[in-house]
Chains A and B, each alone.
Chain A
């Protein structure tokens, strides 16, 4: 069923979620997060070594509005895996600590996984392989 909505931005966001296995909506970029919660989420993701796409919601406030309308989740960051909302900073951090995050992402948990989530400023593994911002 392909329903055309009158909302191109919402469609573009839904398409980005659909087309990227792992996509993070955040404030700032993985290299320069603009908020501590986004930084914490990026650090956890990078520590798993899984590639992820990232979208900065700051350039246009409507991105955030439309995203929250789609996900029924009020805050940023938001991580989607296989088209499903996994959570925000708290849930992603908690899942990193329990090893669930690597599991959901389909990667091996780091052998020497620290008990605590990595600090955002800690060196955090390989940089994401793909960074896309189709919505800017």
Chain B
């Protein structure tokens, strides 16, 4: 079981310079808003893939049932 705070730390550690706001009401479904320079020049698909890369295969859709993403550049 993950918490919103753990996901925030994982995202910020995995994407240098990223700033993440993560919330969850049940520790299974998460909403994340991530602002990062690293997203510059990437398509939305690529931006989300950059985040998905921080998760183990099967983790999303498994223990983390859903991670809703909104990615932005500063």
Contact = CB atoms under 8 A, between A and B. Distances in A.
A64 B52 CA distance: 16
Interface residues of A, number: 15
A86 B46 CA distance: 10
Contact of B60 (A75, A86, A89, A91): A75
A76 B61 contact: yes
A75 B45 contact: no
Contacts of B70: 90, 94
Given A72-B49, A74-B55, A90 B61 contact: no
B44 A74 contact: no
Interface in B34-74: 44-45, 48-49, 52, 55, 57, 60-61, 66-70
Which of A73, A75, A87, A89 has the most chain B CB atoms closer than 10 A to its own CB? Answer: A75
Interface of B: 44-45, 48-49, 52, 55, 57, 60-61, 66-70
23 contacts: A37-B66, A37-B68, A64-B61, A73-B48, A73-B52, A74-B55, A74-B57, A74-B60, A75-B52, A75-B61, A75-B66, A85-B45, A86-B45, A87-B48, A88-B48, A89-B68, A90-B48, A90-B69, A91-B44, A91-B45, A91-B48, A94-B44, A94-B70
Interface of A: 37, 64, 72-76, 85-91, 94
